Amino acid sequence: MSDLTYSNVISSINTQTCKKCKLCIEICPCKVMGEMPDKTIAIIPEKEAICVKCGQCMAICETKSVQINGLSYETDIIELSENTIKHSEFINFLSHRRSIRNFKNKEIPDEIIEELLQSIYLTPYGSSPEKMHITIVNNRNTIEAALPFIEQFLDNVVKWVESPFFSKIIRFKKGKETFNTLKNHLYPKAKIGHYKLKNGDRITRGAPALIIFHADKEAEEHTNNSLIQATYLMLAAHAMGLGATMIGIVPAAINKVKEIRQLFKIPNNHEAIISIIIGYPKYKFKRGIIRKEQKINWV
């Protein structure tokens, strides 16, 4: 019997170093692994195709005996130190984070953004994280070039919401959630000219950088993946002394206006989900804000 058994060597378990603890079997969400008749632990051939390559089995294996195709202990798995953060410290960290809309006139070095992106590499995901795309626009001039097109898009939103015909189309194609968001939140501001550039940049708020999360329109779970990754990045920005805010207007405009899509180099078959404006905070908050609007139900 080979050391790498019950596999077509796409993914495998080293039977000589495996301690037969069966933790990989327990931890696998798809139950891809099992105990063979000879008591060795192996990947079940007919189940290998449903492996989601989450890496859990490799992360828990004490002897590094599990090898999943496409993952490496050297580049994809990290050794963990003891988790020392307390819940009270975590809550304190969250209470200090604010959505930042006032930025210093200061560029962000590319290496800082590269460090920031490390948080995204640690995010959980719904499915197929390899299909996600992140576009970084670390150039204020490029951002400003897109603003007139976004302003026009917002003017169109007013017309669409006020038109019975287009309102029905939006509800049918995008759903009631999207339509109600437009009608109840975006439309009232756009209607009174809040986003007009003559009043200043109230779209990207003068931020020096913009990060856009997007993927092929048919990519699995790309909406959830985008929001999860954006949330991690927001928290990482706070930890690094940066300020950030999620912006939904920019991706909505990208999806409707070809000029914006071209400026930001978003592929035509991609859907932009969320964007983040980021920069150095101009002001420091003295207090946190508690929000208890959610309805909590115990069952």
Give CA–CA dist 212/90, Å, rounded.
27
Closest CA to 66 of 81, 82, 77: 77
| pLDDT on residue 141 | 97
Question: What does DSSP say about strands 243-247 and 270-279: parallel, antiparallel, or unpaired?
Answer: antiparallel
- Concatenate the DSSP letters of all residues of 146-205 into one string: HHHHHHHHHHHHHHHHH-HHHHHHHHHHHHHHHHHHIIIIIHHHHHTTTT-GGG---SST
Give CA–CA dist 277/243, Å, rounded.
8
| pLDDT on residue 45 | 87
Q: Cβ distance 66 to 50 under 8 Å?
A: no
| pLDDT on residue 9 | 42
Give CA–CA dist 160/253, Å, rounded.
14
Q: What is the pLDDT along the chain (299 residues), one digit of tens a residue?
A: 334 444 444 688 999 999 999 999 999 999 999 999 999 999 998 898 889 889 999 999 999 999 999 899 999 999 988 878 899 999 999 999 999 999 999 999 999 999 999 999 999 988 888 999 999 999 999 999 999 999 999 999 999 999 999 999 999 988 999 999 999 999 999 999 999 999 999 999 999 999 999 999 999 999 999 999 999 999 999 999 999 999 999 999 999 999 999 999 999 999 999 999 999 999 999 999 998 888 999 99
Query: φ and ψ at 236, to 5 degrees?
Result: -65, -40
| pLDDT on residue 49 | 87
| pLDDT on residue 1 | 32
